[in-house]
Amino acid sequence: MEQLYVTQEGLDKLKTELQECRQQTQKVADAIEHARSFGDLKENAEYHAAKEQQAMLQARIRDLEDKVSRAVLLDETEVDTSKAYVGATVRVLNKKTRKEFEYVLVSAVEADIANGKISVRSPVGQALLGKSAGETVTAEVPSGALELEILDISR
C-alpha cells in the first residue's frame, strides 16, 4: 500500500469531506425509501436516480477512506528545507517569458492549480521536487520543454 504524503490542511480537508459524505448517506437512503413508495421499481426514475446517487456516494466514501488510511503527515523537522519538498512554496522564473510564478508543492489529492497548488506528480512538480534555490530545471509539458529557475523556497 503506497503512502500518501499530505499536509495537515490536506488531511483535514479529506476528513471533512469524508464526514460530509457519511452524513449524506442517510439522506440518500431516505430518498430511496421515499421513491420506493411510488410503486413499480422498473419504471421508477426517482428510485433509479437515488440508487445511482447512493452508488456514487459509496464509491467516493471508499476512495476517501483509502486516502485517509494511507495519509502520512509531513514532518518538516525531518525534511531538508533548503530543497523543494512536499508542502514547500517555490517561487520560480519562467526563463522564456521572464515571468515569476509561485507554486505550493502538494500531493496529488491536494492539487488545486487555481490556487497555485501543484502536484509533485505533475511534470512541473516532479522537476522542482528535491531541487534547491538557484537551480534551473526543465519540465516536459504538453506544449514543450519549460525551463524554470528556482528563485526561492519557503514554507
pLDDT at 35: 86
* Amino acid (one-letter) located at 102: E
* Amino acid (one-letter) located at 31: A
R_g of the chain computed on alpha carbons: 22
Specify the 3-state DSSP secondary structure of 2: coil
What is the residue extent of each domain of the chain?
Answer: 4-71, 76-154
Residue showing cell 521536487: 129
As a whole number, mean pLDDT of residues 121-136 equals: 93
Which of 12-26, 40-54, 65-79, 108-122 shows the lowest per-residue confidence on average (mean pLDDT)?
65-79
pLDDT at 94: 94
Cell of 112: 488545486
Question: Which of 1, 4, 20, 18 is closest to 111 using CA atoms?
Answer: 4
The whole-chain average pLDDT of the chain stands at 90
pLDDT band at 99 (very low <50, low <70, confident <90, very high): very high
**Residue 106, CB-side half-sphere exposure with 13 Å CA sphere:** 19
Within this chain, domains 4-71 and 76-154 share the same CATH topology: no
Q: pTM for the full model?
A: 0.70
- Select from 3.10.620.30, 3.30.465.10, 3.10.50.30, 3.20.20.140 the CATH code of 76-154: 3.10.50.30
CATH number of 4-71: 1.10.287.180
pLDDT digits (tens, 9 = 90+) for 40-91: 777 888 889 999 999 999 999 999 999 999 988 877 666 677 888 888 899 9
